[in-house]
A and B are shown apart, each in its own frame.
Chain A
Amino acid sequence: MLSEDAIATARQSSRGLLLTLPLLAFIAVFFAAPIGAMLWRSVSNPMPASMMPLTVAALSDWDAKALPGEAAFAALVEDLRSLKREDAAKLGAALNFDFGGLNSLIRKTAREAAKLTPLFAESLVKLDKSWGNQAVWAAIAAGTQNLTAKNYLAALDMRYGPDLSVQAVPQRDAIYLMLFGRTAWVALLVTVLCLILGYPLAWLLANAGPKTAGLLMILLLLPFWTSLLVRTTAWIAILQSQGVVNDSLVFLGLVDDKDRIQLVYNMTGTLVAMTQVLLPFMVLPLYAVMKTIPPVYLRAASSMGARPFTGFWRVYLPLTMPGVAAGGLLVFILAVGYYITPALVGGPSGQLISNLIAYHVQQSLNWGLAAALSTVLLGAVIALYLVFNKVAGADRLRFG
C-alpha cells in the first residue's frame, strides 16, 4: 500500500509534468520537428532514384572498375525518354551537385533520347563523349542512392571517386573543413577577447559600491538589450574607411589619408563586432560567481604575506573558475552559430559556417549539403551545451 504522502507526491509530480506538456508539444511541433526533418535531408535522397528506376536497377551490380555494360546505357535512355522536361531539369540539377556538368548533360540527353538508337553505348557517347567517362556513371550511381552519405562526405571535403571509393576533393574545392576550422578559431578568439575584457569588468562590478555597481550594470545591460542590428550598424559607422576610427587616426597623423586601414567587411570587423555583442554573456556569469566571493579571502591571503598577484592567482582566480567556464562556454556556443554579424560586417574573409548553410539553402539550393553542415554544427553545439550543463547548470542561462 502506498502511503497518502506518496500518493500526494506522485499526483503533484504528474500534475507538474502535465503543466509542461503544452510548451513541450509546442516546441516539439514548431521547433524540434522542423529541425529534425531538415537534418533528415542530409541522408535521405529519394528523388533521383525515383526518376531513374531502370538505371538504378541496371547499376546495382556494377563494380565501378570499368564503364557499365550496354544494359545500363539502354536503361538510362529508357528512363530519360519517360521523363517530362521539367523532371529532367530537376534530376539534372540534383545530380549536378555531385558532378559538375551533369545538369546540361542530363537535359541534353533527355531532349535527344527519343532519337537515339541501339547500341546505346555507342550512340550516347556519340551524342556526348561525357557518357564515355566512368566518373559520370559513378556520380549517377552515387547520386541515385535513396540513403546517401554523399552530403557528409561533401561537408568534410570528400566525395566518391570514379571507382566509387571515397577520396578527397581537389585542393581548390576543399572549403568546408577550412570553414569549420575558421568558425572554431573565430569563436575561440572571441571567447578569449571576451574573457580578457569581461573579467576585469565583472570584478569591478562585483567590488564597486552599490551606487557605482548599479550605474555600471546599466552601462553593461543597455548594449545587451539593444538590437543586434543596431550594434552591427554602429560598428560599420565606426570601422569603415571613412569611419570614426580611421578619421581619428588620419587626424592624429598616424595614418595617411590615402591608405586608411580596412577594419570592416573582413575578419577584423567580424571579430570586433562579435566580441562586443557577446561580451555581456561573459560578464554576467562571471559577475554572479564573483559576487559570492567574500573579500576577506583576499585579505587573508595578503595578511599571510601573499603579494596581490599571488593572492589573485592562487585564491581569487581558482574561485572564479566556475564563472569562467560558464561564461566561456556560453560565448563559444553562441559564437559558433553566428550568422547576422558575419553576414553584415564579415566580407568574404569573415564568413562563418552558418553563412555557408544559409547560402546553400537560399542560393545554391543544395539542401542536402546544407542539412549535413547543419548536423555537424548542431552536434558540436549540443556537445558543448552538455558540458555547459555539467559545469554550470541550465539555470546559469538567466540574464537580467
Chain B
Amino acid sequence: MSGWGILARVMAGFALVFLIAPLLVIVPLSFNAEPFFTFTDKMLAFDPEGYSTRWYRAILDDTVWREALLNSLVIGGFATLLATVLGTLAAMGLARGDVPFKGAIMGLVISPMITPVVIAATGMYFFYSNLGITQTHLGLIVAHAALGAPFVVITVTASLTGYDWNLTRAGASLGANPATTFFRVTLPLILPGVISGALFAFATSFDEVVTVLFLGGPEQVTIPRKMWSGIREQISPAILAAATLLIIVAAGLLVVVEWLRRRGERMQVRAR
C-alpha cells in the first residue's frame, strides 16, 4: 500500500471517529450517578458506584417526558400518514412518462427540504395564526407533513424506477380499476420505498424543533422541544438518558430502512 493509501485510510478513520464519537460519549455519561454532565473519577475508575440508572428512572417516571413522548408520537404519526399518502400519489404521477412542468413541480415538492427552516416556521407562524391552528396539534401535523413529504416523493420515485409499468397495464387489461391495480399490484412491489419514505418523514417530525418552537403552545411540547429547553436551561444527565433512548430509536429506524433498501435492490435485480 502506498503512503497516500495509508494517509487516506487514516483520514477516513478520523472522519468515522469524529462522526460516531459524540454518540459514544453520551451513552456512558447517561449512567452517571452524579448530577453532572462530565465523567466523574469513579466513572473513570469503572467503580460500579459511579454508575446508576437514576436518570432513566427520572425521565420514565416524569409525566412531562411521557406527555412529550405521546405528543411526538401523535404529531409524528399523523404527519407521516399525511405525507406518505400525498407523497406516494405525487410520486406515482411524476413517474409516468412526460408530466408537463415536471421541473417546476419537482422544485415546489422539494422546496421544504432546502428552505431554511426558520423561514418556513416564521411564515407558518403568521399564516397559521390567521387560520387559527397555531398552538394546536393540527397545526404541527400539517407543518411536519409538509416538511416530510419530499422524502416520501424521492424514495418512492426511486423505487418506481425499477417498476415494470406493463404490470399495471396487465392489471387494467384483466378488468381491475386503477385503485385495485394500485393496491393489489403496484403497492406491494414498491412497498419498501413507501415504508422507507414514511420512516424518513417520521424521523423528520420526531426530530423537528423549530416549527414546534414557533407554532406550538404548552400543549404541544414534544421530545425535541423538551430537550431544547433542557439544553438551554440546565443540562442534567436526564437529557443524556433521553438522548441515549433517541439513539436507540435512530438505530432501529436505520436497521429497518437498510433492510428495506437491500430487499428492494434484490427485488429489482430479480425483476430484471
Contact = CB atoms under 8 A, between A and B. Distances in A.
Interface of A: 9, 12-13, 15-24, 26-28, 30-39, 41, 196-198, 200-201, 203-204, 216-238, 240, 242-244, 247, 275-276, 279-280, 283, 308-309, 312, 333-334, 336-340, 344, 354-355, 357-358, 361-362, 367, 370-371, 374, 377-378, 381, 385, 389, 394-395, 397-400
Contact of B99 (A13, A233, A309, A334): A13
A357 B119 contact: yes
User: What are the 6 tightest A-B residue pairs by CB atom distance, in nearest-first order?
Assistant: A337-B116, A19-B93, A234-B22, A34-B127, A34-B123, A16-B96
A221 B96 CA distance: 31
Interface in B95-127: 95-101, 103, 105-120, 122-127
Contacts of B109: 20, 23-24, 27
Given A17-B101, A308-B5, 15 more contacts: A13-B98, A19-B92, A20-B105, A31-B123, A200-B12, A225-B254, A230-B250, A237-B29, A238-B21, A337-B115, A354-B116, A358-B122, A377-B116, A389-B107, A400-B257
A344 B232 contact: yes
Contacts of B210: 339-340
A26 B22 contact: no
A218 B100 contact: no
B146 A26 contact: yes
Contact of A244 (B25, B100, B209): B25
Contacts of B206: 227
Q: Number of contact residues on B: which range applies?
A: 35 or more
A279 B14 CA distance: 12
B25 A237 contact: yes
Contacts of A354: 116, 118-119
Indicate the member of A18, A19, A20, A374 with the most B CB atoms within 10 Å.
A20
Given A13-B99, A223-B23, A20 B94 contact: yes
B18 interface: yes
Interface of B: 2, 4-5, 7-9, 11-12, 14-16, 18-23, 25-26, 29, 36-39, 82, 86-87, 89-90, 92-101, 103, 105-120, 122-128, 142-143, 145-146, 149-150, 153-155, 157-158, 196, 200, 203, 206-207, 209-210, 214, 224, 227-228, 231-232, 235, 239-240, 243, 246-247, 250-251, 253-254, 257-258, 261
A387 B155 CA distance: 22
Given A17-B99, A200-B12, A339-B210, A244 B39 contact: yes
B205 to A, nearest CB: 11
B90 A234 contact: no
B120 A31 contact: yes
Contacts of B86: 22-23, 26
Contacts of B26: 230, 233-234, 237
10 contacts: A15-B96, A17-B101, A34-B126, A221-B258, A223-B22, A228-B209, A229-B207, A230-B247, A238-B22, A337-B117
Among A39, A216, A276, chain B packs the most CB atoms within 10 A around the CB of A276
Contacts of B112: 27, 31
Contacts of B257: 225, 400
A398 B200 CA distance: 11
B102 to A, nearest CB: 9
A378 B115 contact: yes
Contacts of B8: 200, 203-204
A109 to B, nearest CB: 30
Nearest to B112: A31
Given A197-B11, A221-B254, A236-B37, A31 B96 contact: no
Given A22-B89, A394-B106, A240 B37 contact: yes
Given A238-B25, A333-B114, A219 B16 contact: yes
A167 B96 CA distance: 55
B108 A32 contact: yes
A23 B103 CA distance: 15
A284 B127 CA distance: 36
B108 A24 contact: yes
Contacts of A235: 22
B26 to A, nearest CB: 5
B115 to A, nearest CB: 7
Contact of A276 (B9, B19, B120): B19
Contacts of B117: 337, 339
Given A16-B93, A216-B16, A32 B111 contact: yes
B25 A225 contact: no
B153 A236 contact: no
Contacts of A231: 22-23
A192 to B, nearest CB: 14
Contacts of B231: 229, 232-233, 236, 344
A192 B218 CA distance: 41
Contacts of B100: 13, 17
A229 B108 contact: no
Contacts of A217: 258
A377 B15 contact: no
Contacts of A9: 97-98
Interface centre among B82, B89, B90, B258 (most CB of A within 10 A): B90
Most chain B Cβ neighbours within 10 Å, of A39, A196, A337: A337
Nearest to A396: B154
Given A17-B99, A344-B231, A400-B200, A222 B16 contact: no
B19 A219 contact: yes
Given A16-B99, A17-B100, A312 B19 contact: no
A400 B115 contact: no
Contact of B146 (A27, A197, A237, A362): A27
